[in-house]
Amino acid sequence: MPERLPEALEARLADLETRLTFQEQALSELGEAMAEARMETARMAELLQRALEDLKQLRTLLYADPGSEPPPPHY
């Protein structure tokens, strides 16, 4: 029976190495996905900022006199 113990340990070690390799690959892929998501979020934030600036300019052009602006919908 002592001969089987090293084989069992070797098999277990091989299994652990395989799992570690898989986890390292998954972690790398997650890191790449996170970096892409951050870049996409930054692009979306910039687009939103531009849209808000355009909207402000349009409101300024449409309602030069604040008194001519219609009341909010809840009134």
Report the distance separating Cα 74 and Cα 27, nearest Å.
50
pLDDT in tens, 52-62: 999 999 988 87
Q: Has residue 32 got a pLDDT over 70?
A: yes
Q: Has residue 3 got a pLDDT over 70?
A: no
Amino acid at 62: L
Give the pLDDT score at 1: 47
Give the pLDDT score at 9: 93
The pLDDT mean for the chain works out to 89
- pLDDT category at 75 given cuts 50, 70, 90 is low
Report the distance separating Cα 59 and Cα 23, nearest Å.
53
Report the distance separating Cα 4 and Cα 70, nearest Å.
86
pTM (predicted TM-score):
0.58
